[in-house]
Structure 1
Amino acid sequence: MKTQLQRLQKIFPHTWLEQLQYIHSSLLCRWILLRGSQTLAFNQKSAMVFSPHQDDETFGCGGMIAHKREQGIPVIVVFLTDGQGSGGSVPNAQNNIVQIRQQEAIEALSILGVEASEIHFLAKLDGSLQDLNNDDKQQTIEQVSELIRCYQPGEVYVPHRKDCHKDHEATYKLVKAAIAQNNLIVDLLEYPIWLFWRSPLFILLKLDDLAAAYCFSITSVQAKKKRAIASYKSQIESLPRGFIKRFLGSYEIFFKVD
């Protein structure tokens, strides 16, 4: 995928590439919302959200988190990496980015209703999840397994398995392995972050992939999600505006894993 993006960047100027990605993402989301999805019904199950970086949880399922917390339903959020790979444009951020992103996550999740005691930082090196050696991989799976055993969630949220970011795709695999290790029966839902932005339809993203899409209305908590996204000041200025815009709407998209 990285090679494909590099090829596109040689063909199109950066701004043109972003415009193409925005159009592609918008059309896919519109098709899913209008024709290609089922409605995801709200339930009372406790949830555990696994996020590779500090902001993915809010972009991908901030509305769902806020809905559950407003109903008093437990939500646990687990960050796998330390987030040091992105300093954004905040002064001195490169030197303090781990602490900055951790505080931003606590602030964002507080807006969504999650207390700091319900947030866990595993602090793996940003960008390393896909390349962990066997010992580190097993240690990470065991850490995730221990949290799952402790909280016994009814639902688990993970990035999409084809999310076109190696930490995101690795998070899916690590969490899936931990669930299997615990023989846990749980609803597993994937949330897309980069999927629609970076996955060309009919090349990496197939119609079969879209068949499992569900839409969840977040209208009543949309303002909370926008405020939570705005808390990630170190990140939002460095992300494409069109990319951020996709997450400011009144619906969230999830994929159910059988």
Structure 2
Amino acid sequence: MEHKLVPYNAVLCLDARSVLVLAPHADDEVLGCGGAILAHVDAGSAVKVVIATDGAFGLEGEARAQFAELRRAESRAAAQVLGYGEPVFWSYPDQGLAYGERLIHDILAAAQGCDLIYAPSVHEMHPDHRALGMAAVEAVRRLGGPVRLAAYEVGVPLPPNLLLDISASAHRKQAAVACFASQLERQDYGRHVEALNQFRTYTLPKDVTAAEAYLVLSAEDIGRDMLGLYQPEHRRQRRLGLRIDAWDAPLVSVLIRSVDRPELDDALDSVALQTYPNIEVVVVDATGKHRALPAWCGRFPMKLVGQGRALSRSEAANAALDAASGELLIFLDDDDLFHAEHVARLAEAKTKAQAQVAHSGVEVVDGRGVIDVYDDGVTAARLMAWNRLPIMGVMFDRSLVEQGCRFDESLDVYEDWDFWLQITRLGKLARSVGVTATYRAHLGRSILSDGLDEPQQAAWRHRIWAKWLRRWGPEDMQALVDDLRAGARERERKIAEAAFAESELRRALLERELEIQALRNSTSWRLTAPVRALMGLLRRSPAAVA
């Protein structure tokens, strides 16, 4: 999961037509993004560099003016090394930058025609760095359109989403750093930035010897989440799906429709054994007179809800949806079982595929053992033809319910199939390979256990199709045809592979038979025939040996 925190590859240049570099002090433009400036100049992009402050903190009068001019001269010398031309000096007082309309308006004016703006990260420790970075974020948000912000690091490492390979230009960057003699007298910034650029190669191939790190955001990204840049690291990692503690994992609601059978205890025990850390259990009283249940299912909180009357399966399912608090939802009938890794595997598959729905393999058992296994790939198109998703094998986002997906309370059979058809039209379907749940068909009520004959099952299927045919358009039918054709091609491929394997086995068998025949026809075989006969006799008559 480390790739979510730091990139594992690097680029040689950020695409841009016209670039604006904002530096709080003379030297920050080189320390933070000198390699990027070199890459843009080499690529022929227009580069404009603004030095925001005079860099003369603590000095007054003539001494301040002279030192400020020295800093400007050093920046001009570095510009010659980098090859971008003449820097622009705003001459704000050092440590006098303030986040506000004046600074934002100056940035907006300087950024006209630019499509990429470099600015210090808002995580920097120096107040001028933070103020300029914050103002740049707001300016990019207001500019909108194709403008992007590339936040760079100087004093504090930032959380990057892009690494720039500067291996070939690192020596030129160091030459530009050497121009700032007034600053290098105070601190060896060249050594520091060289170490930082080497550190940034940690996740890159061995031949990358220096890199700069950036957090690149579009104006749209910033507008969509204005506070995202300022969130604490804990929250950022949680949003990336990286758990620090159990509560960082999305809450999963396990929804159980119960008619208060003894087997409910087995189902609850299987939930209590889940390895996933953040679960709530919602049990729906489908009888109207359910026994009381404890407040906890193992380490997970549990609640019993109902409407004071008997509920149909679809009514109970909707009651469960309404009572759930989780971001992720999954049903478990009161006579079936989750394997210990079931919820964790489904949540992982869904997250990895960035899907709204995930399904896993389910074994079907009766009193004698396993009678069927549902562990094949299922597509939204294939669901149009038949249902291969047992209800305990599917996890889905709560957002799909919020978009209007509900159980059809007029259906008493195949109500789950109808629900799957709804959610897979709105969300991507992912697969967790392998059996991680058990469907105990002989204990409950289902197509497998209700004793419905084929004509009765067909009548219910026809009812589902009649409902959905009014919604399916030509593109849905084409998707079904394409899916069936793909399945047919896959079966033909497997048949061809099996036929080839059979022919190879037959050829090998024939070769072996010919070898045996040749051996039997050999002189040595004939000469040793009496010995073989004697040994065979001895094996058949062990008493003769005694």
> Does TM, scored on the shorter chain, surpass 0.5?
yes
Distance (Å, rounded) in 1 between the aligned partners of 2:123 and 2:196: 18
User: Residue 227 in 1 paired to residue 175 in 2?
Assistant: yes
Distance (Å, rounded) in 2 between the aligned partners of 1:181 and 1:114: 27
Where do 1:112-191 residues align within 5 Å? 112-116=82-86, 119-130=87-98, 137-149=100-112, 152-191=113-152
Instruction: For 2:184, give the aligned amino acid.
Output: I
More helix by share: 1
Distance (Å, rounded) in 1 between the aligned partners of 2:7 and 2:58: 33
> Which is bigger in relative contact order (C-alpha 8 A, separation at least 6)?
1
What's the Cα RMSD here? 2.5
Structure 1 pair 53/140, CA: closer, same or farther in 2 (3 Å)? same
Contact 2:140 2:149 in 1 (8 A): no
Distance (Å, rounded) in 2 between the aligned partners of 1:85 and 1:184: 37
Where do 1:14-163 residues align within 5 Å? 36-41=6-11, 42-45=13-16, 46-85=18-57, 96-116=66-86, 119-130=87-98, 137-149=100-112, 152-163=113-124
Q: Displacement of 1:58 after TM fit?
A: 0.1
Q: Displacement of 1:129 after TM fit?
A: 1.2
Distance (Å, rounded) in 1 between the aligned partners of 2:146 and 2:174: 33
Q: Displacement of 1:44 after TM fit?
A: 3.9
1:8 aligned partner:
none
User: Residue 256 in 1 paired to residue 216 in 2?
Assistant: yes
Distance (Å, rounded) in 2 between the aligned partners of 1:170 and 1:225: 25
Deviations 1:202-236 (A, max 9, x none): xxxxxxx63x4321111221111010000000001
Q: Displacement of 1:244 after TM fit?
A: 4.0
Contact 1:93 1:100 in 2 (8 A): no
Ranges in structure 1 where 5+ consecutive residues have no aligned partner: 1-31, 197-208
- With the length of structure 2 as denominator, give the TM-score of the two structures: 0.34
- Partner SS state of residue 127, structure 1: coil
Percent of aligned pairs sharing the same letter: 24
Instruction: For 1:37, give the aligned amino acid.
Output: P
Distance (Å, rounded) in 1 between the aligned partners of 2:7 and 2:169: 21
Q: Displacement of 1:79 after TM fit?
A: 1.2
- Partner SS state of residue 39, structure 1: coil
Contact 2:120 2:133 in 1 (8 A): yes
Structure 1 pair 86/62, CA: closer, same or farther in 2 (3 Å)? farther
**Corresponding pairs, count:** 200
Contact 1:236 1:244 in 2 (8 A): no
Distance (Å, rounded) in 2 between the aligned partners of 1:192 and 1:74: 22
Contact 1:53 1:81 in 2 (8 A): yes
User: Residue 246 in 1 paired to residue 218 in 2?
Assistant: no
Structure with larger Rg: 2
